[in-house]
Structure 1
């Protein structure tokens, strides 16, 4: 529920109330048009929002809100393409003051001109997420996936990282591989919302917001506030979830005891396809925990309306056929501008849980396998997009990691494009500046004769030494020029005006300054844990944003084996930042398998920041890599051992750390 004052709640429930609506239209060119109650055709305006379908509660929904209105306006309809419409509800309180409630921001999709009116239909920013999203292979938390979609579609995210990470599945690292049905960013949000046990909406400020079903009532709706109402005779309860495992082609079922309620069918969620069985069970049971709060009575009611109500708000109804001891939830709102408000909560009867619903997913239809690319000659592709930001410094950073397989021995091609924001270390420069300084020299002597017969003047020879410039040169009374220089003037002129001469001095001064340096970016390729030493690209950059394009042909790809291609970056004389979504990469080739084989190898990596050993040895970074191998015997058991021991070396004296 939008936060409003107690005075607002009292005024909106009163028998009589005074209110009005206003709005603003802003075109793409920046032109703004204001409109009020006089411009709105009575009964023409509405706002419709929903978070579920028409039959049952759903998880992961990403519905867009719709707004329609007819205005008495002469605005040119051709200028309203993608224009933004903002609506505000104003309520007059008991003391005569106004309290405003924003009703949302919408983008115009249709603008029709009538004789004297302008019909507008608009939707909120959820439609921006219909942008195409190529299949990618990456890992990250739920927040990382959400922020990546928001950045691509230019929509702000209302929730904080701490709020998402605090959710039961919020801090779990999720994986999405190429073999999925993700087509748009909206699909990605749908699957992420399922994992988090909620749904997405665009709030009144135009930001994407994740909401969950709750159990705390925000308002009681009395009988006198309802024009009509209908309530079901059952309570919606969920006691199980079902998720299809595409790899094993089975439907995994998790329930609580007693299992006598509805089952939430999650279908084939790409974010729930990979990982250990225990991890999948933990994710699904956390979703089931979020669903366990649902104890709603389905209803349908026309009310006098409270524009502060939002989707997911829990209500209680009193009077008439309503059961005041039960709660319900808003899954659909239709607000008439200047009229009544229609509220609805959908749900299925748990007593019919064993019956097959038309909304149940056909698992066999969702388990279509990728056809054999080797026979058809199609080129397969595995793509990668970074869901987290990386800082590139002196320590190697694994920026790209792509796993792929081929059904036959073949060769592949690796491509990547990375946007790096570089901050190069400043460089101090020094030089000597040489030049000539002109110094005014005072002229005229108090002992000069006024008639100038015996007067003297100082002569300056441009090529003379410093000693000559300090001495006096004889001059004649007529002011003749000396052969070695120019006379300052005759004695009569000196005594009369007091003018002097100019002295030029050659000087040389040291100068120091700082200028933008050049950062050196190193690239290292690694294929199946073997460093590729014959090709190591290097780029030299000044500060600013740069594009790093990479290519490498991958030869001798082993058939039916999981291959891993890694790219490492590190930088000298500066640092770089690769923001979320600024790294895209792909491995493509023929006969790429739909599913990769696992070779039984696990890798664990650990990194630490700069630290000091003792008092004199400083280490910029420390990386540790442990390899684990499993040996399976006839008895179906295995041994685990470390193939390598980590060690810290200093002054050519390695120190080994024993296993614990």
Structure 2
């Protein structure tokens, strides 16, 4: 939930409220156009966000938020290509004092001109991630991967390195299995967020954020603030995950006891293939721990609305036919500008999905994708520069598996940029001059700097020994 003041929370919970909307369009040339309530065609504006599909909760989702709005404006539609739109909600919290809640940063995808109005459709910066993925990447820590994504796609990160490392598996070294279906950075983010037990979205400031599902209550919605509401008669909860191991071609099953809930299928995640068996189990069990937090009642409700609500916020409903002992998480928000807000939580029924999830336990694996007489060449490049110092540092780590008899060659090349400290040298030259019966000693000091030396010791480790 977007951080707001106590006065805002009090005002938004009242039966009536005073508010207005404002926005700004900034073209690529830097020209700005401001608009407010009087410029917005009544009933035309909406902001739609989601972190799951239409039927079940997802891990790793990378959905883009959508803005649609019609304005009474004479702005040239051709000048709005990739223009930036910012939108804000203003709520009166005291007499003539308004608190602003930013509603996001969007980029124009379509601009259609009518006689008096301009229709705009825009999306957030998640679409910036539709850039070709760097296939040369091999392994890195999650924050390092995100930093590379940020630079490649020009999307700022909302979280610090410490905040990413605090997430599930956030401090683990992850490797990319090269036989994968990753084509864009958005595809890669899906697998990375899944490995971290999160979903990802672009926040209100236009920055990329990864958020896990939670259990702590963020807001109470009573019957006074609901136009309509529908609640399921079951609780969506997960007690197992299934992940396919490409090396063994087996769908591995991890669960907690009692195993009487849904199974989250992680599929073939390229970031969960490398490492020792114990490490893989640890990483997937960490994901299992993160998903067992889900204990939500699916619902759909039309409400008066609170623009400060975010995806993943945990809601408690009171009054009417709501069960006040249960909680739900928002997986979809549709906010009408100057209108109502529809919030939703999706989820499957563990009783109906039980048979299917148990069948997942017995999946024998995938068909072999290795063809006979096939020559495959893979190249790997380290994601970031590696600084070598006195301690041993792993610079090339190869783990190889084959489903058939084959020959393999490994070639490694290490390009070094060595900078040694210069060494100061000095020497004193002396000579003796004899003139007649006299002799005289003349000394001349000589000083110079020369390149120092760096000793690099290389180790070859086989089978971890």
Q: TM-score, normalised by structure 1?
A: 0.61
Aligned match of 1:382: 378
Query: Per-residue displacement from partner, 1:298-353 (whole Å, max 9, x unpaired)?
Result: 00000000000000000100001101111110000000000000000000011123
1:166, distance to aligned residue in structure 2 (A): 2.3
Whole-angstrom distance in 2 between the partners of 1:181 and 1:244: 14
Q: What SS class does the counterpart of residue 568 from structure 1 fall into?
A: coil
Query: Per-residue displacement from partner, 1:169-209 (whole Å, max 9, x unpaired)?
Result: 11111111321111110111111111110110100000000
Aligned match of 1:151: 151
Cα 1:620–1:198 shift into 2, 3 Å = farther
Whole-angstrom distance in 2 between the partners of 1:37 and 1:361: 55
1:355, distance to aligned residue in structure 2 (A): 3.6
Equivalent in 558, 566, 571 of residue 418 of structure 2: 571
Whole-angstrom distance in 2 between the partners of 1:168 and 1:405: 27
Q: What SS class does the counterpart of residue 99 from structure 1 fall into?
A: strand
Q: TM-score, normalised by structure 2?
A: 0.86
Whole-angstrom distance in 1 between the partners of 2:69 and 2:143: 36
Cα 1:362–1:395 shift into 2, 3 Å = closer
Moved more, 175-184 or 221-230: 175-184
Whole-angstrom distance in 2 between the partners of 1:119 and 1:45: 10
Cα 1:622–1:285 shift into 2, 3 Å = farther
Q: What SS class does the counterpart of residue 44 from structure 2 fall into?
A: coil
Structural RMSD (CA): 3.0
Residues 27-42 of structure 1 aligned to structure 2 (within 5 Å): 27-42=27-42
Equivalent in 381, 398, 408 of residue 561 of structure 1: 408
Cα 1:621–1:368 shift into 2, 3 Å = same
1:304 aligns with 2:304: yes
Moved more, 395-404 or 14-23: 395-404
Whole-angstrom distance in 1 between the partners of 2:104 and 2:195: 27
Whole-angstrom distance in 2 between the partners of 1:574 and 1:406: 46
Q: What SS class does the counterpart of residue 567 from structure 1 fall into?
A: coil
Q: What SS class does the counterpart of residue 167 from structure 1 fall into?
A: coil
Whole-angstrom distance in 1 between the partners of 2:362 and 2:28: 44
Aligned match of 1:81: 81
Q: Which has the higher strand share?
A: 1
Aligned match of 1:350: 350
Aligned match of 1:265: 265
Q: What SS class does the counterpart of residue 171 from structure 1 fall into?
A: coil
Note if contact 1:198-1:213 (Cα within 8 Å) is conserved in structure 2.
yes
Q: What SS class does the counterpart of residue 284 from structure 1 fall into?
A: helix
Aligned match of 1:175: 175
Query: Per-residue displacement from partner, 1:476-534 (whole Å, max 9, x unpaired)?
Result: xxxxxxxxxxxxxxxxxxxxxxxxxxxxxxxxxxxxxxxxxxxxxxxxxxxxxxxxxxx
Where does structure 2 lack aligned partners over 5 or more consecutive residues? Answer: 423-451
Whole-angstrom distance in 2 between the partners of 1:277 and 1:138: 19
Residues 313-324 of structure 1 aligned to structure 2 (within 5 Å): 313-324=313-324
Whole-angstrom distance in 2 between the partners of 1:405 and 1:356: 31
1:10, distance to aligned residue in structure 2 (A): 1.1
Note if contact 1:406-1:560 (Cα within 8 Å) is conserved in structure 2.
no
Cα 1:572–1:21 shift into 2, 3 Å = same
1:57 aligns with 2:57: yes
1:283 aligns with 2:130: no
Note if contact 1:56-1:346 (Cα within 8 Å) is conserved in structure 2.
yes
Note if contact 2:126-2:201 (Cα within 8 Å) is conserved in structure 1.
yes
Whole-angstrom distance in 2 between the partners of 1:86 and 1:367: 49
1:126, distance to aligned residue in structure 2 (A): 0.3
Q: What SS class does the counterpart of residue 2 from structure 1 fall into?
A: coil
Aligned match of 1:122: 122
Q: What SS class does the counterpart of residue 322 from structure 1 fall into?
A: coil
Note if contact 1:405-1:561 (Cα within 8 Å) is conserved in structure 2.
no
Query: Per-residue displacement from partner, 1:51-77 (whole Å, max 9, x unpaired)?
Result: 000111110001000000000111111
Cα 1:390–1:320 shift into 2, 3 Å = same
Note if contact 2:132-2:184 (Cα within 8 Å) is conserved in structure 1.
yes
Query: Per-residue displacement from partner, 1:424-463 (whole Å, max 9, x unpaired)?
Result: xxxxxxxxxxxxxxxxxxxxxxxxxxxxxxxxxxxxxxxx
Whole-angstrom distance in 2 between the partners of 1:232 and 1:267: 28
Cα 1:406–1:572 shift into 2, 3 Å = farther
Residues 426-441 of structure 1 aligned to structure 2 (within 5 Å): none
1:393, distance to aligned residue in structure 2 (A): 9.2
Note if contact 1:384-1:400 (Cα within 8 Å) is conserved in structure 2.
no
1:370, distance to aligned residue in structure 2 (A): 4.7
Whole-angstrom distance in 2 between the partners of 1:279 and 1:406: 20
Cα 1:371–1:115 shift into 2, 3 Å = farther
Cα 1:141–1:363 shift into 2, 3 Å = farther
Whole-angstrom distance in 1 between the partners of 2:372 and 2:247: 16
